[in-house]
Amino acid sequence: MNKWTVAVILSFTLLAFPLTIPGSAAELKPLMAGWEQHFTVTWEQAENRGKPVLQGYVNNISPYNVRAVRILVETLDGAGETTSQRVAWVPGEMNGATRLFFQVPVAPASTYRVRVFSYDRQEFDGNFR
């Protein structure tokens, strides 16, 4: 066998048999450190067509325009440990001091946590009119 055949076989083996890491998958954390300085999140449990959802608002308390907002919705057990996580898009764009509505399907849980996962700050050059 030449070196390319060995490389192809090795690559196929790694793809066919992914590594198993003991324990659960790595816990997601917000990608934007300090998001709490720019946003607040208010939410409540509700139902949509008989299924549980979290619905609420991402409030932009900064003077910046933002878009592509994603939230991290987590279910927590009685001890406050994360049992599941979901990243969801919040549709729309926000100017400073405005808010966007979201509604995310969730599994039933004793407690939930919702945080801003990521966002894009819109920048305009000085000649924008």
Total of domains in the chain: 1
84: CATH: 2.60.40
Residue 42 confidence class, pLDDT cut points 50, 70, 90: very high
Q: Which of 37, 41, 42 is nearest to 62 (CA)?
A: 37
Query: Is residue 22 included in any domain, yes or no?
Result: no
Query: Is residue 53 included in any domain, yes or no?
Result: yes
pTM of the model: 0.75
Query: Is residue 14 included in any domain, yes or no?
Result: no
Query: Is residue 88 included in any domain, yes or no?
Result: yes
Query: Is residue 20 included in any domain, yes or no?
Result: no
Query: Is residue 77 included in any domain, yes or no?
Result: yes
Q: Percent of the chain at pLDDT above 70?
A: 77
Query: Is residue 63 included in any domain, yes or no?
Result: yes
Range of 88's domain? 28-121
8 A C-beta contact, residue 49 and residue 55: no
37 DSSP assignment = G
- 47-85 tens-digit pLDDT: 999 999 999 999 999 999 999 999 999 999 888 889 999
